[in-house]
Structure 1
Amino acid sequence: MYRLGVDIGGAFTDLVAYDDETGDFVWVKGETTPKNPAEGVLNTVEKSKLDMSKVSMVLHGQTLVINSIITRSGAKVGLFTTKGHRDVLILQRANRRDIYNFRYKKPEPFVPRRLTVEVRERIGGDGGVIEPLHPEDVRQGLEKLLKEGVESICISFLNSYANPTHEIEAKKIIQEELEKKGFDIPITTSHEITREWYEYERTNTAVLNAFVKPKMRAYLNILERAIRDMGFKGAFYSMLSNGGMASFDFVKEYPIYAVESGPIAGVIGGIAIAELVGEKNVIVLDGGSTTTKASLVENLTPKVHSEYHVGRDRFNPGYPVKVPVIEIEEVGNGGTSIAWIDAVGNLRVGPKAMGADPGPACYGKGGGSTDCNRCICYKWFDQSELPPWGRDENI
């Protein structure tokens, strides 16, 4: 029986299958299909020519969650929050990491104010009920959000980490109303994602889960159906950001736990190789098509943080995500990064990239950093040192 792993990158989709009985490997590389990621995965599975009835498990790593957040290409989310706390995503945090940075800019919330609904209810910090939930507020708020055309719903009430009773009640009311009206809209509650305090961080984490949930649910459903049709009878698993794995059913509900699924799989693979060669302290470097990642591993143990920031840089605090994520550093420079000239004439590469469509220069459909790297070599090195096919008499 084979165990099959498949990973989606910015330009390529890779598949590796391991035969538990013989120890043989099957490795296949195919093109990623950005407009329909499932197509690239299925093409790669078909290209492997494996008998899927002899595969016991499929383990999937992807960058769909993180890329959807970075490119803001997720669902239209409606947020229910405690009355008086409508601006929790707008206010964020008053403190800055660098108070003297005049280029600092607060990140734009993923839910605009007009799609945030206040509900009368109140839970105290000790978990006690100060004011009961008003069901009519939930129903009226749902009517408003449905008219706005929301595709996903998030519920995050004050102090629900201490007592989630009102979130559970509100979710039940919304589910009943959606069923009556014939809507199939996913619902995320903050207490199901994290039971830690800090209202902004917890709410933002739940909102980002709601933001990517419809896309991930649809994507994983397509993969399941298509691979089952190939004769597969085993179990589907997804890599998580903490280095573990979970079933597709779990990731459909809580995709934010797989925010760095693909890159973290690379770290775990690097640790396995380090152990094989007898090294305990290593730097795992993962050069991808869009970004390059690095992770410092000490004593074969990766560092895990419970608060991760998407899109953080020296000018932007990023979006907090309170889920366990292995520590990685990431730069926007990969195999398909676009070369460009900035305002003062300096050559820059990245962070924008060609991806798989039109792809790197070798695809013959556009161009990535490959051409740029070649030109730099020509400028700084004697062309006589290059092979004949690499010379250009016009430079």
Structure 2
Amino acid sequence: MQKSFLLGVSVGESFAEFSLLSDSKPLAQKRVYLSRENLKQSLLQFVTENSDKKPELAFVSLRLPKKLLNYNLSGAVAHVTTEGFEHWLEVCGKTETLTNKDLLFSVHERVLANGDIETPLKLEDLEAIAAKLQMMDCKKVCLHFLHSAANSAHLDQAHEFLTAKGLEIFVPEKTDNPHEVSRWNRNALNATISGVFADRKTEILKALDGVVAEKDIHFLSSTGKIFSDDKSQQISSLFSASTALGLQLGAQEQADVLYLGLENFLLISGAEWSTSWESAWGSVEVPHLQTKELGIQPTLGVSLNVFGHFDFATHQEGWEPGPMFLGRGQKPSLLDLWAENSKLTKLQGLEDRFSVQGIQRFKNTLFALSKISQTRDSDLGHLTKDMQSLSMQRLAMEAYLQRQNKKMIVTGPLASVFANAFKKDPHTTLHADEFSESQATALCGFKALQETL
């Protein structure tokens, strides 16, 4: 009897993972660093190398870089709202704005909270807006009409009218959520990332062309379900991999999952759900398993604090250009402290990326900082061990204080590097074989697909 195979693809901000599974067992896995390798070519190479195990189904979790949620990087999006609510998202948001102020428009219409129409929509108002957008060469439009969830008549009219003008229209998903701002924020972010999401999706589809039928390639949402071409679901893909990990590992073991990834250290609940995401743009309607990003992160900057002692910064340096051991980074980060650790240097995706010059530059930087610090011991070996110990202690304490369940499972590519932080905790289990995001994506997606049949 011929075996069936599943393909799991997890695309992060800086790394992508591929897993080929037979039943629930991974047969082949690969991780690539996207700053140096092309997603399409890497995925194509992976399936070609395993051509004797042709997958029948593919499941994808697609997490786009958060910096691309900024409209300055992802293209112009116009917002059309009910008159008087043009700046509502900005007023109710946080530090970031979702569009240029020149692309904020309003129309004179009003639907009451009970769904009654108080002021009918006039299409001539939309005609004037469409003409301005054509002059500004803006093709994407978000419609945010007050109480449209109670009565979508005006929203539907505007959608039909502006679509006929050749514009791409985004409307809030129809849900029971009464919080207008979180629904509007979701709609605005979906519009912002739509172009980048479509490009990434096209790369994946082209890589799998002739290997897996397009109808059998499924994208995972933040709830662990399958979504198709519904544009209102795209932003939820930010949490698809973490939800898959929680459902496949945490829920089964009735434990929280501490995922020690190359990009993020995440504490994922196996049972508790959140209805929204508190983003830099304000509350966004994205149902997902509760996920906490820890204070200790793999690329946190290393610097001197106000007391002149070595400490970790509050922001990540990221993987572009990455830690100094890659040879391009200019600022020291947490992972640089393990630059000569054999467990780190053997990690797939990094094993051939280490630069002797980069490692030496990190040591020189650490030594230079020690000369202006208040530390009594400037020995590089002692400093490195002290900072490693500090990061381990903080990681263990954060995970202990913030987890929802008594039990916790530690997994991820960096789990082996940081395993000693949890050796004294009897309720914490280190997953012997790394349970990857791509493996979790395949298993969670397959289960969700079976439930729809």
Same fold (TM over 0.5): yes
Match of 2:336 in 1: 371
Deviation of the 1:139 alpha carbon: 1.8
Q: Look up the match of 1:268.
A: 247
Deviates more, 1:158-167 or 1:2-11: 2-11
Post-superposition, which runs of at least 4 consecutive aligned residues in structure 1 deviate over 4 A?
229-234, 373-377
In the alignment, which of 252, 267, 286 is matched to residue 259 of structure 2? 286
Aligned length: 340
Q: Distance in 2 between matches of 1:44 and 1:27?
A: 11
Residue identity in the other structure for 1:308: W
What is the CA RMSD across the aligned residues, in angstroms?
3.0
Q: 1:52 to 1:130 in 2, by over 3 A?
A: farther
How big is each residue's C-alpha offset from its partner over 1:251-300, in whole Å with a ceiling of 9 and x where there is no partner? x453122232232233233226xx3xxx42x2211122232110233xxx
Superposition map of 1:189-338 within 5 A:
189-190=171-172, 192=173, 194-230=175-211, 232=213, 235-242=216-223, 244-250=224-230, 252-271=231-250, 275=252, 279-280=253-254, 282-297=255-270, 302-311=271-280, 319-331=282-294, 333-338=296-301
Amino acid at match of 1:56: E
Q: 1:353 aligns with which of 292, 310, 317?
A: 317
Relative to structure 1, the CA distance from residue 63 to residue 347 in structure 2 (aligned partners, 3 Å threshold; closer, same or farther) is same
Quickly say closer, same or farther: Cα 1:333–1:147, change in 2 above 3 A: farther
Q: Quick one: structure 1 residues 364 and 87, their matched pair in 2 at CA, closer, same or farther if it must change by over 3 Å?
A: closer
Question: Who is 1:73 aligned against?
Answer: 73
The match for 2:423 is none
Instruction: Give the CA deviation at 1:323.
Output: 2.7
- 1:145 corresponds to: 133
1:139-196 C-alpha deviation (Å, 9 max, x unpaired): 2112223333435210010110100111111011111111xxxxxx532112x25443
Asked if the contact 1:240/1:258 (under 8 Å) is kept, the reply is yes
Q: Deviations over 1:343-389 (max 9, x none)?
A: 6545324522231x43345544437533235677632759xxxxxxx
Match of 1:98 in 2: none
Q: Which runs of 5+ in 1 are unaligned?
A: 94-105, 179-184, 312-317, 383-395
1:119 counterpart residue number: 107
Compare 80-89 and 66-75 and name the one that shifted more: 66-75
Cα distance in 2 between the residues matched to 1:342 and 1:151: 47
Q: What CA distance in whole angstroms lies between the structure 1 residues aligned with 2:233 and 2:52?
A: 27
Residues 1:156 and 2:147 are matched in the alignment: no
Distance 1:52 1:86 in 2: 57
Task: Tell me if structure 2 keeps the 8 A contact 1:59–1:236.
Answer: yes
SS of residue in 1 equivalent to 2:248? helix
CA distance in 1, matches of 2:306, 2:215: 55
The change in CA–CA distance for 1:286 and 1:72 in structure 2 (over 3 A counts) is farther
Q: When the two structures are superposed, what TM-score results if normalisation uses the length of structure 2? A: 0.67
Q: Measured at CA, do residues 334 and 215 of structure 1 come closer, stay the same or move farther in structure 2, by a change above 3 Å?
A: same
**Whole-angstrom CA distance in 2 between matches of 1:69 and 1:377:** 41
Q: 2:43, 2:204 within 8 Å by CA — same for their partners in 1?
A: no
1: CA distance, partners of 2:137 / 2:273: 38
Give the alignment of 1:20-39 within 5 angstroms: 20=23, 25-33=27-35, 39=38
Alpha-carbon distance in 1 for matches of 2:385, 2:147: 63
AA aligned opposite 1:51: S
Q: Quick check: 135-144 or 160-169, which moved more?
A: 135-144
Query: Which runs of no fewer than 5 residues in structure 2 stay unpaired?
Result: 340-365, 367-379, 387-453
Q: Structure 1 residues 234 and 80 mapped into 2: Cα distance closer, same or farther (>3 Å)?
A: closer
- Please state how far the C-alpha of 1:113 moved relative to its aligned partner: 3.0
Which residue does the alignment assign to 1:102? Answer: none
**Distance change >3 Å, CA 216–CA 8, structure 1 → 2:** same
Shift of the 11–111 alpha-carbon distance from structure 1 to 2, 3 Å rule, reads: closer
Q: Give the drift of 1:207.
A: 1.0
Mapped contact 2:16–2:34 kept (Cα < 8 A): yes
**Secondary structure, counterpart of 2:209 in structure 1:** helix
C-alpha separation in 2, matches of 1:148 and 1:52:
52
d(CA) in 1 for partners of 2:35 and 2:139? 24
Q: Which amino acid aligns with 2:144?
A: S
Q: Given residue 303 of structure 1, which amino acid in structure 2 is its aligned partner?
A: E
Q: Tell me how far 1:52 sits from its aligned partner.
A: 8.5
Instruction: Check if 1:12 corresponds to 2:15.
Output: yes
State whether residues 8 and 41 of structure 1, in contact with CA within 8 Å, keep that contact through their aligned partners in structure 2.
no
How far apart are 1:26 and its partner, in Å?
1.2
Q: Distance in 1 between matches of 2:76 and 2:338?
A: 40
Deviates more, 1:142-151 or 1:163-172: 142-151
TM-score by length of 1: 0.76
Amino acid of the structure 2 residue aligned with 1:4: L
State, as a whole percentage, how many aligned pairs show the same letter.
21
State the alpha-carbon separation in 2 of the partners of residues 170 and 362 from structure 1: 53
Give the AA of the match of 2:237.
A
SS for the counterpart of 2:79 is strand
| Shift in alpha-carbon separation, 1:364–1:304, aligned structure 2, 3 A | same
